Amino acid sequence: MLIDIQLLPIKFDPLSISAHTVAVIDVLRATSVIIHALSQGATEIIPVATIEEALSRITQFPEGTTLLGGERESRKIEGFDLGNSPREYIGERIKGKRLILTTTNGTKAFHLVSSGREILATSFFNIGAISHHCLDMRTDLLIFPSGDEGRFSLEDVVCGGMLIDRMLEKGKGPFSLTDASQSALILYERFKENLVKALRLSTHGQDLIERGFEEDLSYCAQVDITNVVPIFRDGVIRIR
Amino acid sequence: MLIDIQLLPIKFDPLSISAHTVAVIDVLRATSVIIHALSQGATEIIPVATIEEALSRITQFPEGTTLLGGERESRKIEGFDLGNSPREYIGERIKGKRLILTTTNGTKAFHLVSSGREILATSFFNIGAISHHCLDMRTDLLIFPSGDEGRFSLEDVVCGGMLIDRMLEKGKGPFSLTDASQSALILYERFKENLVKALRLSTHGQDLIERGFEEDLSYCAQVDITNVVPIFRDGVIRIR
């Protein structure tokens, strides 16, 4: 089983990943929001690239069934119901609702890898469930960190390294690691005793602290708070 | 001073690096060959992308002045004078000669970053000289690992991390590191007591061992064996 990680968020040759399971990661904060919302009872999540697309899609659904969420420059979008902090996606506010979500990096990442065989939303929140599921799939795995506006994002790669670590620990193998996945494992090992440290060191973490979202860093560093395995298919993310 | 490292060898927007110093790294083995050949008295090196281009360029120079070097699938190219092992580029064989070099990754990398302000051939061989020079330049620095057929290459990023480490140690700063350069530093720290270990772990190192070039790994892991600072300008690499 080959485990690879794509260190920069660039578009793939569709054929090259058509047989792969793909784990999309945006710890700060899109996949953390998606997993949290689904674990709190959201019915489905539609990730879209632009605000215009979000405003257009919501008109297709009956009033009161669907929420608009997301951010630009980390902040809630004007006129939207919710921002991009997982702490907002809780309880009655989200239960039974559909969510249309647009963020700077994470929601776009799903579309970059849409040719994958099965595409999973991954964060520290559900790392154990995802590692089990990836082992069960028995296909090659591509881990896809969403990055930070096209750049390498430390926190996502550390999360990817943790996924690899869990799989090596639990799976029978044999596993084949690329230079990139070996490196992700080393980066995870450096921060495994203190995941928040990686989030605080990262450029995106620093931006969030400056913009008043410091609490989100420790919140998003929580490990295994849910077992949901969200799958992106035909433009929609639902629990498996 | 911003220190960034580009983890995948992709073409740049020329304007984005026009004010940068760029350190191109291909430890296994193109920049190691380039630095070694120049330190042994080669007059200049012309890196070209294809075998055809190499065969065409050599006809422009008087007979006996110019050598053809390089590899395909790690092996010497038929009809060429030299392969891609730095151990071949030694003494009277190379002294006073021009070299036309074509390799799978490294020689192409120079052309990918040709819009940089100053482009330096870097490996463990000249890491100290390059770190001094980059500090003297006082521009932002982009470290550019050549990768392995478009993929991330561990050994080049470890070398990039060592360059960052040397600069932080010797320079006054302030330095600004990206997530990618923080990660390169962490990867270097993991291997700094045993650089050959990184070369042996890497996919490209494994390939070289399989193809009979194991000795090149420990040879290329030698640190500070020369002070040459090779600069790529107008298609040619010469000592500064």
Contacts of residue A26, defined as CB under 8 A and 6 or more positions apart, other chains included, come to A32, A103, A105, A106, A109, A123, A145, A146, A156
**How confident is the model at residue B173, as a pLDDT?**
85
| Percentage above 90 pLDDT, chain B | 95
* pLDDT tens, residue by residue, B191-225: 999 999 999 999 999 999 999 999 999 999 999 99
Residue type, B150: G
Q: pLDDT grade, residue A11 (50/70/90)?
A: confident
For B9, the closest chain A residue by CA position comes to: A8
Q: pLDDT grade, residue A12 (50/70/90)?
A: confident
- Residue of A183, A186, A202 lying closest to B179 (CB–CB): A202
**How confident is the model at residue A201, as a pLDDT?**
97
**How confident is the model at residue B171, as a pLDDT?**
87
> Which DSSP category does B59 fall into?
T
> Which of A105, A143, A152, A203 is the best substitution to test chain B (most B C-beta atoms within 10 A)?
A152
**How confident is the model at residue A14, as a pLDDT?**
83
* pLDDT tens, residue by residue, B32-46: 999 999 999 999 999
Residue B180, min C-alpha distance to chain A (Å): 6
Please compute the mean of the pLDDT values over residues A138-165 and round it to a whole number.
96
B interface residues, A as partner, C-beta within 8 Å: 7-8, 10, 148, 151-154, 157, 178-180, 182-183, 186-187, 190, 201-204
Residue A5 · residue A178 · CB < 8 Å: yes
* Contact between chains at A7 and B152 (C-beta distance less than 8 A): yes
**How confident is the model at residue A26, as a pLDDT?**
97
* pLDDT tens, residue by residue, A88-130: 999 999 999 999 999 999 999 999 999 999 999 999 999 999 9
- Residue of A151, A179, A204 lying closest to B151 (CB–CB): A179
Residue A202, min C-alpha distance to chain B (Å): 6
Domains of chain A in sequence order: 2-239 (3.90.1560.10)
Question: Within 10 A of B137 (CB to CB), how many other CB atoms are there?
Answer: 15
Residue A52, min C-alpha distance to chain B (Å): 28
For B150, the closest chain A residue by CA position comes to: A6
Please compute the mean of the pLDDT values over residues A160-179 and round it to a whole number.
95
* Contact between chains at B152 and A179 (C-beta distance less than 8 A): yes
A interface residues, B as partner, C-beta within 8 Å: 7-8, 10, 148, 151-154, 157, 178-180, 182-183, 186-187, 190, 201-204
**How confident is the model at residue B231, as a pLDDT?**
98
Residue B135, min C-alpha distance to chain A (Å): 23
Please compute the mean of the pLDDT values over residues A64-90 and round it to a whole number.
97
* pLDDT tens, residue by residue, B84-137: 999 999 999 999 999 999 999 999 999 999 999 999 999 999 999 999 999 999
The rounded distance, in Å, linking the Cα atoms of A121 and B134 is 41
- Residue of B154, B182, B204 lying closest to A201 (CB–CB): B182
**Per-chain mean pLDDT for chain A:** 96
Question: Would the pLDDT of A162 be above 90?
Answer: yes
Residue type, B233: R
**How confident is the model at residue B190, as a pLDDT?**
98
The rounded distance, in Å, linking the Cα atoms of B220 and B125 is 7
Q: pLDDT grade, residue A13 (50/70/90)?
A: confident
Question: Would the pLDDT of A171 be above 90?
Answer: no
β pairing state of B2-5 and B176-177 = parallel
Enter the pTM of the model: 0.96
* Crossing angle for the helix pair B179-191 and A179-191, to the nearest 10 degrees: 90
Residue A211 · residue A74 · CB < 8 Å: yes
| Percentage above 70 pLDDT, chain A | 100
**How confident is the model at residue A61, as a pLDDT?**
98
- Residue of B10, B154, B182 lying closest to A182 (CB–CB): B154
Q: pLDDT grade, residue A10 (50/70/90)?
A: confident
For A202, the closest chain B residue by CA position comes to: B179
* pLDDT tens, residue by residue, B131-185: 999 999 999 999 999 999 899 999 999 999 999 999 999 988 899 999 999 999 9
